[in-house]
Each structure stands twice: as structure tokens, then as C-alpha cells.
């Protein structure tokens, strides 16, 4: 059961320092210099103002976050994190549900996410939330800012 004083609200760029600190302290989180910089997150929030959320404790300190966005067809969930002292009480589930509801409100019917294979706790969480592992696709990416490519 979540403490009634824990609040979930839409994320703003003013939350950046708190969310970045949380991400940096969260095992299994992969942070990238460009994408997760202040400028990168500001761009993401501007593009997705209704689908990114933070959870706050009774002192208004950020204890959880989720980035979520859409390409207009499919939703994508990134950087779900809950402070280690606040896990297993429903905050992560509530953040994911808020993001999913926001996507549904935009007419999006499917969401995808990436989890490191070595992130056991994260993979267990997503399995419990009903997100299944796909073995029929190969995920590929390329840095568009790496001058060596």
C-alpha cells in the first residue's frame, strides 16, 4: 500500500536534477551523455508532456520516475526507477499505470521497453506487470552522433 502522502504527478524539466540523481543511483540503469543530458530530457519532455511522471515522498523529494513517449503509433517506456528505500510498495506499478493510461488517452494501444538482460530485478518487475519478453526480433541501434560511424 502506498503512503497517501506519496504523490505521482507529471514530470517537468525542473525535476531534472532529482531524476538524474535517482537514475545514477539505480542499478541496471544505462545513462547516455547526450540522451540523458538536461537538453536531451528537456527535448523528450517537450515532445511528451503528458506521459512522463515522478513520484514524490511526503517532503516532495523525487523517489520514482518514468519517462514515456510515443511516435504516434506505439508507446515507449524508459527509465523507470524507484528509490531503493521505497520499492515493493506499489510506486513502480503506479508510475507504469499512469504512463500506460496517458498513452491510452492519446490513442496508443501498445507499449514497448528495453531492459538489460542482466537486470534481474527489473526483468522480474516487468514480467509481473505483464510485459513479456520477445524472442522473435533483434534490437539494433546506432549512435548518430558518434563521429567514428
Lowest pLDDT segment from 3-12, 52-61, 77-86: 3-12
CATH number of 7-128: 3.40.630.30
For residue 74, give the nearest of 44, 107, 114 by alpha carbon.
Answer: 107
* Domain chopping of the chain, boundaries: 7-128
If one counts every other C-beta atom within 10 angstroms of the C-beta of residue 109, the result is 9
Q: Nearest Cα to 11, choosing from 37, 43, 50?
A: 50
Q: For Cα atoms 129, 134, 138, give the angle at the middle one, nearest 5 degrees.
A: 135
What does pTM read for this prediction? 0.89
Is the CB of residue 73 less than 8 Å from the CB of residue 50?
no
- The answer on pLDDT for 6 being more than 80 is no
Q: Which positions ≥6 away from 87 have C-beta within 8 Å?
A: none
- The pLDDT value given to residue 149: 47
Tens digits of per-residue pLDDT, 92-120? Answer: 999 999 999 999 999 999 999 999 899 89
Mean pLDDT of the chain: 92
Report the C-alpha gap between 65 and 81 in whole angstroms. Answer: 5
For residues 9 and 54, the answer to whether their CB atoms sit within 8 Å is: yes
State the helix-helix crossing angle for 16-24 and 38-47, rounded to 10 degrees. Answer: 110
Cell of 134: 520477445
E strands of the chain, at which residues? 7-10, 53-56, 62-70, 75-82, 111-113
Amino acid at each position: 500500500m502506498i503512503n497517501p502522502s506519496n504523490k505521482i504527478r507529471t514530470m517537468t524539466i525542473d525535476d531534472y536534477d532529482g531524476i538524474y540523481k535517482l537514475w545514477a543511483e539505480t542499478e541496471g540503469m544505462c545513462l547516455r551523455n547526450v540522451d540523458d543530458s538536461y537538453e536531451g530530457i528537456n527535448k523528450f519532455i517537450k515532445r511528451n508532456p503528458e506521459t512522463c511522471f515522478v513520484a514524490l515522498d511526503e517532503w516532495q523529494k523525487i523517489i520514482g520516475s518514468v519517462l514515456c513517449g510515443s511516435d504516434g503509433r506505439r508507446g515507449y517506456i524508459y527509465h523507470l526507477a524507484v528509490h531503493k528505500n521505497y520499492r515493493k510498495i506499489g510506486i513502480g506499478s503506479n508510475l507504469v499505470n499512469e504512463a500506460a493510461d496517458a498513452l491510452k488517452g492519446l490513442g496508443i494501444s501498445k507499449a514497448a521497453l528495453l531492459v538489460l538482460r542482466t537486470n534481474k530485478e527489473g526483468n522480474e518487475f516487468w514480467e509481473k506487470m505483464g510485459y513479456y519478453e520477445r524472442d522473435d526480433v533483434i534490437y539494433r541501434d546506432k549512435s548518430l552522433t558518434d563521429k567514428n560511424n
